[in-house]
Amino acid sequence: MRTVNEPTLDDLMFIGSWMCDSDRQELALTRDTDDYVSLAHDAFESGFKFVVLDNALPVFAFGAKLLGPTALVWGFKTEQGCKAISTVTKFIRRAMIPALRDAGVRKAVCIVHPDNRASQIWLRHLGFTPRATSREFGTRQEDVLLFQRDEPDAVS
């Protein structure tokens, strides 16, 4: 049984320590992925943070950090977390987006690795569109894609 819950720091550290290869590659654009303790702390400090437990095992972490009317959305998972995509998608649509709107958020942004096609398809499914290719983010001199989702009442 899969449930969406408020994460503990231990949940986030577990997922970070067993992160799937595609998320590890993506997060390597902006941080040291071997430092899962720092990743867990950063995720835990987000204003919005959730974890999917699959039979009590943490498999998928996701959330948003508020930057005024914009949210920087994030997520990382274990290999088993791939099975939770449907659960996460439903939760984002039914609970997270309305909660972000109630908090005044009208735009959400996400940095994506150009080779992570699955993430790009999923973000498009959630209403995100690619907005830019940049080398300005992160610690590496690699291209990253910036995806953005605007609410209908977002101010340009």
Is position 30 within any domain? yes
Is position 116 within any domain? no
Q: What is the pLDDT of residues 19-57, one digit of tens each?
A: 999 999 999 888 999 999 999 999 999 999 999 999 999
Is position 154 within any domain? no
Range of the domain at 20: 2-106
Is position 80 within any domain? yes
Element (H, E) at 74: strand 70-77
Q: Quick check: 8 and 43 in contact, CB under 8 A?
A: no
How many structural domains are present in the chain? 1
Regions of the chain where pLDDT drops below 50: none
Is position 57 within any domain? yes
pLDDT of amino acid 143: 82
pLDDT of amino acid 48: 98
Tell me the C-alpha distance between 13 and 8, whole Å: 9
Task: Quote the pTM value.
Answer: 0.93
Is position 11 within any domain? yes
- Give backbone dihedrals phi and psi of 62, rounded to 5 degrees, phi first: -155, 160
Is position 73 within any domain? yes
State the first-to-last Cα distance of the chain, in angstroms, to the nearest integer: 41
pLDDT of amino acid 45: 97
Tell me the C-alpha distance between 73 and 52, whole Å: 16
Domain of 74, CATH number, reads 3.40.630
Q: Quick check: 51 and 11 in contact, CB under 8 A?
A: yes
H-type alpha helices, the chain: 9-17, 21-27, 36-44, 85-91, 97-102, 117-125
Is position 112 within any domain? no
